[in-house]
Amino acid sequence: MQNTLKKRAINKEPRQKTALITGITGQDGAYLAEFLLEKGYVVHGIKRRSSLFNTERVDHLYQDPHEKDIRFKLHYGDLSDSMNLTRIIQEVQPDEIYNLGAMSHVKVSFDTPEYTANVDGLGTLRILEAVRLLGLTKKTKIYQASTSELYGLVQQVPQNENTPFYPRSPYGVAKLYAYWITINYREAYKMFACNGILFNHESPLRGETFVTRKITRAVARIALGMQENFFLGNLNAERDWGHAKDYVEAMWLMLQQDQPDDYVIATGKTTSVRELVRMAFACVGITVEFLGAGIEEVAKVIKCENPDYQIASGATVLQVDPKYHRPTEVDQLIGDASKCKEKLGWTPKYDLKDLVQEMMEADVNLFRKEKYLREGGHKTLDYNGE
Ligand code: NDP
Ligand code: GDR
C-alpha cells in the first residue's frame, strides 16, 4: 500500500458514515480501513497497547490527531475490557461496527484456550451488549467475523450457510459462541447484526505465522540464498484460499442490505498445502518434487530456471515437523458462496495464482532489501516465523 493512497483516501468527499473497526491493526482491519476511507467514511479503530509499535499495516493512513476534521482515528482498547469498549462506542456513535479483533491463530488457540474464549467469544458479546445498553440498536449495524473453522470436521462439501458446524479447536469453539450470540441479539433485540462466514483469505499483509505467508517468506529467502530449507506440519490439509481485498468488500456489502443475514464468503476452490508450496516455488522459477510420506515427506528441487537464483538440483528445501500438527485438524474446506453472489452480487476478483504471485513478489522484494542491508554490514533477524 502506498502513500498516494493515503492522500486519495483521506481527501475524498463528501463525508458519509462512521465506522468502528476492532482488529484494525490486523490484515483485514487494514484493508477494510482503506476500503471505507475510499468510500468517504470516518474510520475509528481499536488498537491494543503494545510495548512496540503495532500499527505498521495502517501507518500509511495515519492522520495527526492535532489536525482538524481527521477521518482516521485510533483508540486504545481491548476486547476483554467491557468498560473500555462501551466508552469507545459511546464516544464514536458508529453507524457500523466491524468486529474483526480476535486471537486468530488456530494452533495458538490450543495453547491459550481460555484467553481465546474470552476475546473471540465473550469479546463479541461485549460489543453487542454495549450497543444494546447504549440504546444504539436502531443506529448501529454490526459485522461479526465468523469463520469456516466453524465447519471443522468435514460433514459436507462444499460448505454453505446450512452446513452443520463441528469446530475442531478452541478458536473454532469460541467463534461458534460468537456466531450464535450475534444471531441471538439480532433476534432478541432486532439488531442489525450479520455473520460473515469467511473462508481463508490471504495477502502480502497476512501474519507471518499463517501457512501461506510462512511459505512465501521461506520460498523468497531460499531463492535469495538466505536460508536452505523450512518446516511445515500437515501438507495434506486443503483450504479455500481467497484474497483479503476481495473479502473486505463482502463484509461491507453485508451491512448495506435492508435486512441482516449471514453469508458464506469463499472462492469455491480448494488447494492442498503441498500444492501451495509447489505454486510458490514455481513463481520464482523453481520446480520441486515431493518424496516420502508422513513425517518423512520432503520437497526437493528438480530444477531452477531463474538465472538470478543459484539453487542446486536435489537440494532439500522443505521438511515436515510434527510440532506444527494440530491436536485436531480441519482436513478440507471448500465454500459455496452462491447466496452471497445472488443477494450481494459479490464474486472474487482474484484467483489463487494471482494471490500467490502477489505474495511472492512482495516477499522477494522484502527480503532483497534485507539481504542488501545484511551485505552492508547491518544486523538483521534470522527468525522466520513459526
Ligand atoms: P489478524 O490476526 O491479522 O488480526 C487480528 C486483529 O485482532 C489484530 O488487529 C489484533 O491486534 C487484534 N486483537 C487480537 N487480540 C485482541 C484483543 N484482545 N483485543 C482487541 N484486539 C485484539 O486477523 P485477520 O485480519 O486475518 O482476521 C480478522 C478477523 O477475521 C479475525 O476475527 C479472524 O478470526 C477472522 N477470520 C479471518 C480469516 C482469515 O482467513 N484471515 C477467515 C475467517 C475469519 P494486534 O495487531 O495488536 O495483534
Ligand atoms: P487456518 O490457517 O488454521 O486455516 O486458520 P493456517 O494458515 O494457520 O493453516 C492452514 C492449514 O495449513 C496447515 N499447516 C500449517 N499451518 C501453519 N500455520 N503453520 C504450518 O507450519 C503449517 N503446516 C501445515 C494447518 O494445519 C492448516 O490445516 C485461518 C485463520 O486466519 C483463522 O483465523 C481463520 O478463521 C481461518 O483461517 C478461516
Q: By three-state DSSP, how is residue 232 classified?
A: strand
What is the pLDDT at residue 1?
A: 46
| Ligand 1 center to 36 CA (angstroms) | 18
pLDDT band at 3 (very low <50, low <70, confident <90, very high): very low
Question: Is pLDDT at 195 greater than 80 in this prediction?
Answer: yes
What is the pLDDT at residue 69?
A: 86
| Ligand 2 center to 329 CA (angstroms) | 10
Given a contact cutoff of 8 angstroms between Cβ atoms, the answer to whether 99 and 125 are in contact is no
Q: What is the ipTM of this complex?
A: 0.99
Residue 147 is a catalytic residue:
yes
CB-CB neighbours of 131 under 10 Å: 25
Closest Cα to atom 27, ligand 2: which residue?
Answer: 237
**Which helix (H) or strand (E) is 181 found in, with range?**
helix 170-189
Cell digits for 198?
469467511
- Residues facing 144 on adjacent strands: 99, 195
Whole-Å CA distances, 188 to 137, 181, 193: 11, 10, 11
What is the pLDDT at residue 16?
A: 85
Question: Is pLDDT at 325 greater than 70 in this prediction?
Answer: yes
Cell digits for 247?
473479502
CB neighbours of 11 closer than 8 A, spacing ≥ 6? Answer: none
Q: What is the pLDDT of residues 9-28, one digit of tens each?
A: 555 555 589 999 999 999 99
| Averaged pLDDT for residues 81-109 | 98
Q: What is the pLDDT of residues 114-132, one digit of tens each?
A: 999 999 999 999 999 999 9
CB neighbours of 125 closer than 8 A, spacing ≥ 6? Answer: 177, 178, 181
* Atom from ligand 2 closest to the CA of residue 202: 31
CB neighbours of 5 closer than 8 A, spacing ≥ 6? Answer: 34, 60
- Rounded CA gap, 31 and 26, in Å? 9
Q: What is the pLDDT of residues 359-381, one digit of tens each?
A: 999 999 999 999 999 889 887 76
For residue 382, with 0-12 CB atoms within 10 Å meaning exposed, 13-18 middle and 19 or more buried, which class applies?
A: exposed
Q: What is the pLDDT of residues 203-231, one digit of tens each?
A: 999 999 999 999 999 999 999 999 999 99
pLDDT band at 386 (very low <50, low <70, confident <90, very high): low
Look at the alpha carbons of 173, 179, 182, 183 in this order and tell me if their dihedral is positive or negative: negative
| Ligand 2 center to 211 CA (angstroms) | 5
Ligand 1: which of 22, 28, 35 to mutate, most ligand atoms within 8 Å of CB? 28
Question: Is pLDDT at 57 greater than 90 in this prediction?
Answer: yes
DSSP for 271-327 reads EEHHHHHHHHHHHTTEEEEEES-GGG-EEEEEEE--TT----TT-EEEEE-GGG--S
What structural domains does the chain harbor?
A: 3-203+241-268 (3.40.50.720), 211-237+272-329+351-375 (3.90.25.10)
Question: Is pLDDT at 255 greater than 70 in this prediction?
Answer: yes
Tell me what the pLDDT averaged over the chain comes to: 94
Q: What is the reported pTM?
A: 0.96
What is the pLDDT at residue 242?
A: 98
Residue 38 is a catalytic residue:
no
Helices 211-223 and 352-375 pack at an angle, to 10 degrees, of 50
| Averaged pLDDT for residues 274-295 | 98
Q: Is 27 in the pocket of ligand 1 (CB under 6 A)?
A: yes
DSSP class of residue 99 equals E
Cα dihedral: 102, 103, 106, 107 (round 10): 170
What is the pLDDT at residue 379?
A: 75
CB neighbours of 128 closer than 8 A, spacing ≥ 6? Answer: 142, 181, 182, 185, 191, 193
| Catalytic residue chosen out of the listed positions 22, 25, 140, 147 | 147
What is the pLDDT at residue 382?
A: 64
- Residues facing 18 on adjacent strands: 42
Q: By three-state DSSP, how is residue 71 classified?
A: coil
| Averaged pLDDT for residues 87-110 | 98
Q: Is 370 in the pocket of ligand 1 (CB under 6 A)?
A: no
What is the identity of the amino acid at 64? D
Cell digits for 77?
482498547
- Rounded CA gap, 159 and 59, in Å? 37
Q: Is 102 in the pocket of ligand 1 (CB under 6 A)?
A: yes
Residue 143 is a catalytic residue:
no
CB neighbour burial string for 193-221, b if at least 16 within 10 angstroms, e if fewer: bbbbbbbbbbbbbbeeebbbbbbbbbbbb
Helices vs strands, H then E, count in the chain: 12, 15
* Atom from ligand 1 closest to the CA of residue 146: 44
What is the pLDDT at residue 2?
A: 42
